[in-house]
A and B are shown apart, each in its own frame.
Chain A
């Protein structure tokens, strides 16, 4: 039995029709879905992998292929975009889980020096500056900052997503913020 979501409320009369065509295996519909959301989805993903183009490319491709592959399991979607976002978020979560595992393996071999975080927050002038600083963070810090500041999730929501207590998430966010400030200061 397929999953049931809400009816299409986004005012796009073509969206539900496109979804039904996808369910029927219409190749043109698959191409149309791609063309309609390619730029929006690629930007969404790039922002959440600290601008990493290679990671963004993999997740972008996995997301689009997955939605077409699994469309027959879904009976209705709220909107095509929210459907794509849901799949992309799962792929991002998988990506970060892999990153955390790899990071743990690296930590077993490396003694890290923790930089002293600056007391004052520096003004960041460009998006690239922020992305570069994010790339210096460990995957857990990257992810928690994205969940909080890009996705606007509450502490409780993040706790559910990361399988931690809300208290632990608050502490994690504090440490991630300090690490980001330190990374920004290094670039100054």
Chain B
């Protein structure tokens, strides 16, 4: 038997994530779920075509048919945008 197998057997555990990370992720999941279904309700997009502060950041995804981009890597730190239901959900 490989002598490292026993060592690595200790590297399996459940661990509650830090509270802020868990909260941000949970809120982001809810926001993304709503952004895809059934129809986007993007108040922030009314009257303007783009949201410059988020549009220039890397690591973004498109939220379904809505042109709002949500920062994935640090979504919990994304700024709240007035009228944007996604970022407002993250930062109520």
Q: Does B4 make an interface contact (CB < 8 A)?
A: yes
Give chain B nearest CB distance to A98 CB in angstroms.
11
How far is it, in angstroms, between the C-alpha of A11 and the C-alpha of B26 when the chains are bound?
25
Residues on the A chain within 8 Å of B43, using CB: none
Q: Does B56 make an interface contact (CB < 8 A)?
A: no
Q: Which of A25, A40, A47 contacts B11 (CB 8 A)?
A: A47
A contacts, CB < 8 Å to B: 22, 24-31, 33-35, 38-40, 42-44, 46-47, 53, 57-58, 60-62, 64-66, 68-69, 72, 121, 124, 127, 130-131, 145, 149-150, 177, 180
Residue of A nearest to B26 (CB): A34
**Cβ of A177 and Cβ of B4 under 8 Å apart?**
yes
A-B contact pairs, 25 of them (CB 8 A): A24-B37, A25-B34, A25-B38, A27-B33, A30-B26, A30-B29, A30-B30, A34-B22, A39-B14, A39-B15, A40-B14, A47-B11, A60-B25, A61-B21, A64-B25, A65-B75, A69-B36, A69-B61, A72-B36, A124-B7, A130-B11, A145-B4, A145-B8, A149-B8, A177-B4
**Cβ of B12 and Cβ of A34 under 8 Å apart?**
no
Residues on the A chain within 8 Å of B30, using CB: 27-28, 30-31
**Cβ of B25 and Cβ of A34 under 8 Å apart?**
yes
Knowing A25-B36, A30-B30, A177-B4 touch, does A38 contact B16 (C-beta < 8 A)? yes
Knowing A127-B10, A177-B4 touch, does A30 contact B32 (C-beta < 8 A)? yes
Give chain A nearest CB distance to B1 CB in angstroms.
12
Knowing A25-B36, A130-B10 touch, does A46 contact B15 (C-beta < 8 A)? yes
